[in-house]
Structure 1
Amino acid sequence: MFNFKEILSVTLILFSVIDILGSTPIIINLRKKVGHIQSEKATIAAGVLMVLFLLLGKSILNLFGIGVEDFAIAGALIIFALGAEMILGIEIFKPDPSASATSTSIVPIAFPLIAGAGTLTTILTLKSEYSQANIAVGIVLNLVIIYIVLKSTNWLERKLGHTGLDVLRRIFGIILLSIAIKIFKTNVFPAA
Structure 2
Amino acid sequence: MKLIIGISGATGAIFGVRLLEILRDTKDVETHLVMSQWAITTITEETNYSISEVRELADYYYSPKNLGAAISSGSFNVDGMIIAPCSMKSLASISMGLADNLIARAADVMLKERKPLVLMTRETPLNNIHLENMLKLSQMGVTIFPPMPAFYNHPKDLNDMVNHIVYRLISQFGIDKLPQEKVWTGFTKKEQKNVSY
Alignment TM-score, normalising by the size of structure 1: 0.26
Task: Answer 1 or 2: which has greater strand percent.
Answer: 2
Larger Rg: 2
- Greater RCO (CA < 8 Å, at least 6 residues apart): 1
Task: Answer 1 or 2: which has greater helix percent.
Answer: 1
Alignment TM-score, normalising by the size of structure 2: 0.25
